[in-house]
C-alpha cells in the first residue's frame, strides 16, 4: 500500500521528549483523540506515551494509532536522530502543520516528504525483497555486496536511482517533492544556500528565518522515469552536488 510519509532529521542525541510533545501538540490542534494508540503493540493513550518511554528508558519509539505511525530513533554511526511520520488513513494533517512543530528546533537538520512504496523500491537492494512478492529484478543492475567468501553475493545496485537515500555524517542524502532545510544542513553538506534560494525552477521560502523550504513538485515523487526522474536528479545535484566534486 502506498502512503505519504515524512522524515525529520535532527542532530544526534536530540531529546525524544521533544518529538513526543511536538506530535502531541499537532494531534491536539486537529482534534485527534488521545486514545486508540499502541506502543510496540501495547495499548495506551497518547498522553501516556512520554511517561511510558521514560519508564522504558528508550531513545526511540514506534507508536501506531488513529491512522498514524510515528517512529522515532537514533543512528549513532550516522550521528543523527530521526522522526518518521506515516499517514495510514484518509485523515490528512497538512505537512506544514507537522513541520511547524519540529523545524524551529536548533537541532533540526532536514525533512522531506515521500511516497512510501516508491521510497521502498528505490532503496530495495536485497533480491529476496523482490522474490518474496513475485516481483522481477532481472532488468535491474547488480553488484557485489563486497563481503568475503562465503558471504559474498549479488545485490541490486541502487546507486543510480533518483529516489535513493544514503546515510551521511549528520544527515541523509535524499530528495523529496517538498523539503525543509535547517541551518545545520548547509554546514554539513557544504551546499551554497544562495544558489538554492535563487533557483527559479523551485518554489523556495522561509517559514522561519533559520529554515528554508524547497518545493520541486506539487505531489510526492512516484516514478524514476521521464521528467520526474530528471527533476529528482537535478534536485539532488543542487543540494548534494558538492559530495561528488
- The closest of 213, 10, 203 to 102, measured between CA atoms, is 10
In a domain, 142, yes or no: no
The CA distance from 33 to 137, in Å, is 43
**Per-residue pLDDT reduced to its tens digit, 116-162:** 999 999 999 999 999 999 999 999 999 999 999 888 999 999 999 99
Which stretches of the chain are assigned E, i.e. beta strand? 4-11, 37-39, 42-44, 61-65, 68-75, 80-87, 108-115, 142-144, 154-156, 166-167, 172-173, 178-182, 203-208, 211-215
| pLDDT, tens digit (0-9, with 9 covering 90-100), for 18-40 | 999 999 999 999 999 999 999 99
Instruction: For 192-206, write each residue's pLDDT tens digit.
Output: 999 999 999 999 999
Q: So what's the pLDDT on residue 245?
A: 45
Location of C-alpha cell 563486497: 146
pTM: 0.94
Domain that holds residue 182: 4-123+158-240
How many structural domains is the chain composed of? 1
pLDDT tens for 49-66 read 999 999 987 789 999 999
Q: SS3 letters for 221-238?
A: CCCCCHHHHHHHHHHHHH
What is the structure's pLDDT at 2? 74
Q: How confident is the model at residue 92 (pLDDT cuts 50, 70, 90)?
A: confident
Contact 177, 219 (CB under 8 A): yes
* 140 within a domain of the structure (yes/no): no
- 177 part of a folded domain: yes
Cα-based distances in Å from 84 to 35, 60, 186: 20, 11, 22
For the chain, how many helices (H) and strands (E)? 8, 14
28 falls within a domain: yes
Q: What is the pLDDT of residue 57?
A: 79
Would you say residue 144 lies in a domain?
no
**Residue 1 predicted with pLDDT over 70:** no
Residue 89's pLDDT is 83
Assigned domain for 163 exists: yes
Is 56 a domain residue? Answer: yes
Percent pLDDT > 70 in the chain is 98
Mean pLDDT of 101-107: 96
pLDDT digits (tens, 9 = 90+) for 217-240: 999 999 999 999 999 999 999 999
Please report whether residue 42 resides in a domain.
yes
Amino acid at each position: 500500500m502506498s502512503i505519504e510519509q515524512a522524515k525529520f532529521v535532527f542532530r544526534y542525541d536530540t531529546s525524544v521528549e521533544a518529538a513526543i510533545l511536538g506530535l502531541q501538540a499537532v494531534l491536539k490542534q486537529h482534534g485527534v483523540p488521545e486514545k486508540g494508540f499502541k506502543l510496540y503493540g501495547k495499548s495506551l493513550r497518547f498522553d501516556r506515551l512520554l511517561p511510558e518511554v521514560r519508564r522504558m528508558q528508550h531513545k526511540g519509539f514506534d507508536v501506531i494509532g488513529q491512522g498514524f505511525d510515528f517512529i522515532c530513533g537514533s543512528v549513532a554511526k550516522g550521528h543523527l536522530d530521526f522522526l518518521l511520520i506515516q499517514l495510514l488513513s484518509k485523515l490528512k494533517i497538512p505537512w506544514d502543520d507537522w513541520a511547524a512543530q519540529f523545524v524551529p528546533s536548533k537541532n533540526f537538520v532536514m525533512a522531506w516528504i515521500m511516497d512510501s512504496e516508491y521510497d521502498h523500491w528505490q532503496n530495495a537492494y536485497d533480491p529476496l525483497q523482490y522474490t518474496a512478492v513475485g516481483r522481477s529484478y532481472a532488468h535491474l543492475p547488480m553488484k557485489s555486496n563486497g563481503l568475503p567468501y562465503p558471504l559474498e553475493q549479488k545485490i541490486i545496485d541502487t546507486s543510480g536511482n533518483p529516489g535513493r537515500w544514503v546515510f551521511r555524517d549528520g544527515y541523509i542524502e535524499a530528495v523529496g517533492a517538498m523539503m525543509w532545510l535547517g541551518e545545520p544542513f548547509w554546514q554539513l553538506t557544504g551546499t551554497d544556500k544562495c544558489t538554492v534560494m535563487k533557483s527559479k525552477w523551485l518554489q523556495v521560502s522561509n517559514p522561519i528565518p533559520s529554515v528554508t523550504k524547497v518545493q520541486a513538485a506539487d505531489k510526492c515523487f512516484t516514478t524514476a522515469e521521464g521528467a520526474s526522474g530528471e527533476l529528482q536528479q537535478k534536485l539532488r545535484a543542487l543540494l548534494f552536488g558538492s559530495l561528488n566534486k
